Amino acid sequence: MQDHQSGKTSWSFKQDGTRVTEVDFLIEDKLREQITSAYPNHGISGEEREPINPNADFVWVLDPIDGTFGFSKGVPLFGNLIGLTYKGRPMYGFLRLPMINDTWISGDCKQSIINGKSLNPKAFSGMKDSLILTTDQQTIINSPINKYWQKAITLGAIARTWGDCYGYYLLCLGEADLMVDTGLKPYDILPLIPILLGAGMRIEQLGDEENFSDIMAGKKEIFDAII
């Protein structure tokens, strides 16, 4: 792979055309080392390395830098994602935003905490000026999600692309009302599912497979309005 330079961050293209940096590898290798030491019988599935014991009951899902494209451009809205699944079901998730006051959120599907304190998202205040988010509007135009996205806009929602894990962070706080994504890989979304559910968000899967690759997540009231 050819190395490129953006500011002080060097990056390369992976086979799927996405970017990867040396920091991605360093973070994932460190996480794998710690997990293997503490839980030698658990499996590990990460974005940058080959799976370890993928058929184990407990499998850790790692995205060392969620938002690598933005990270390589100097955008500070990237994060670290760590998830734990049991027999394929997401049961625990952790999100850290190192450049957003080193904030972290974790959840177990029943409750979520932020920086060690109970998370209490802001309530829905109506469709007018509600905030809906996606990582990339171009990817949802031809997806099953687009009709709901457009419906929300016609009802007065403000659309922005503060995406990747930062968008889900805003949703968990209640600052955003809906986050939609398509074409997600397991490490992009599985660590976030327990946090979103713990924050009281509703999650709808679209598409042919129930693997969270095409989802809408948000407050119950906005689903009532657009579906």
Q: Quick one: which of 150, 139, 53, 66 has its CA closest to 100?
A: 66
Across 157-177, average pLDDT: 97
> How does pLDDT run across 200-227, given as a tens digit for each residue?
999 999 977 778 999 999 999 999 999 9
Mean local confidence (pLDDT), 120-142: 95
Percent of the chain whose pLDDT exceeds 90: 86
Tokens for 208? 């042919």
pLDDT at 4: 54
Quick one: pLDDT at residue 216?
97
pTM to 2 decimal places? 0.93
Domains by residue range for the chain, with CATH: 3-118 (3.30.540.10), 131-226 (3.40.190.80)
Q: Which residues of 169-203 are buried (b: 16+ CB within 10 A; e: fewer)?
A: bbbbbbebbbbbbbebbbbbbbbbbbbbbbbbbbb
**pLDDT at residue 108, as a whole number:** 98
